[in-house]
Amino acid sequence: MQRMKQKKLKMKKNNNKFKGFTLAEVLMALSIIGILMALALTTIKPAQKSAMRYLYISAYNAVSQSYYNAMLSGNEFNPFSQADPSEEHSEENDAGAERLCKGLTSYINTMSNERTDDGDFATTCSSTKITSQLADEFLDEKVQFVATNGMKFYISNLITGPDDLKFYLVFVDLNGNAKPNSFVYTYKGGKTEDDYDTSDPDDLEQMEKDRIEPDIYAFVLLWTGRILPIGIPEYDKNILTARFIYYDNQNEMQHTNKSLAYYQAKGAAWGYYNNSGADPQPTDYNPDEPFSMNDVVRNAIDSESNIVKDFPNLRQLDPLAIEKNAPYHCSNKDLESCYVFLDEYRM
């Protein structure tokens, strides 16, 4: 009898093992899963922005350092030297672009360009692989070289401007073959800016959520050996931020404490913002009188280029972000020597 009772008790315990979840428990589990998915979705875009910013700074450092070292090497890699007066600098054939490519690949590890045993180059660098300054088409057959991390490098022909201005544009596809493979902002679902009503706050918010940052960016390589960021990173703080150095009344070097968009930092350093009074406002701005080297370069690029045609008015950048009553300015006689530095360099 005692044995039968123990057997029944054991069967009851076994039956309890297979007891299902209650409705309340199922609903609770689904609620937790929903919350976790919502958190994941809200963190995807910032994570992508952070990754793109890291890749951009990596490319900026690579191009800047390799170009500086190449220029120190003499005329062999100097794209602006012209040993042969008959050298061509056209949109179809530019000897300087090939020299620039060889100079960069001397200091950037590549998958496509290698040295031969005798120290010469066996490379994909070519004077005919010219990418248009319009920045509207990036073809694989125009790639000058591919870095070991997968970044693709494109080079424009020589661009000139007033007062002996000379420069090349180097375009870098930060994530190689991965999408969006675009130089401009794109939007989910194949939408464009025209599909959103920017006067509607809800539509404007949705536009921001749908926006996809580009993965191709341009750098200006000046004949002086300097490099400038240009295009979207100038004004998009998701890609690049900067501060600037100024001197106080005791001639002590100071730096601003707020991170600004690169172009905004330039504007503040050059005195574009009027800091007198409690409410700083932009001063009158004449685009025909550039206040930084970026403006000089931008005026020399084809007006139909994606680099410049949608560049925002500086008035749209928030002047209240600038510290008030700081005695800073740069010399209007030397556009290139403005004390603006990238946050990443300082850190």
Three-class SS of residue 7?
helix
For 159-215, the pLDDT digits (tens) are 999 888 999 999 999 999 888 999 999 999 888 888 998 888 898 889 988 988 899
pLDDT tens sequence across 258-269: 788 888 887 776
pLDDT value of position 117: 59
Which residue's structure tokens are 């600038």?
322
Per-residue pLDDT at 264:
80
Ramachandran region, residue 189 (left: φ > 0; alpha: ψ -120 to 50; beta: rest): left
Going by their DSSP bridges, the two strands 227-230 and 216-222 should be labelled as antiparallel
Annotate 92-127 with DSSP letters as a single string: S-BHHHHHHHHHHHTTS-BSS-EE-TTS-EE-S--T
What is residue 284's predicted lDDT score, i.e. its pLDDT?
A: 46
Question: Quick one: pLDDT at residue 65?
Answer: 93
pTM of the model: 0.77
pLDDT greater than 90 at residue 346:
no
Determine the pLDDT at residue 339.
61
CA distance 11 to 19: 13
Ranking 119-123, 218-222, 328-332 by mean pLDDT, the lowest is: 328-332
The domain spans of the chain are 45-178+215-230, 240-347
Q: Please report the DSSP string for 231-272 in residue order.
A: SHHHH-TTT-EEEEEEE-TT--EEE-SS-EEHHHHHHHHTT-
Q: How confident is the model at residue 291 (pLDDT cuts 50, 70, 90)?
A: low
pLDDT of residue 172: 97
Name 45's bridge partners. Answer: none
Q: What is the pLDDT of residue 41?
A: 41
Provide CB contacts within 8 A for 317, sequence distance 6+: 235, 261, 263, 264, 267
The three-class DSSP label of residue 200 is coil
Partners of 89 in the beta sheet?
Answer: 94
Most confident of 21-25, 140-144, 235-239: 140-144
Alpha-carbon distance of 264 to 280, in angstroms, equals 14
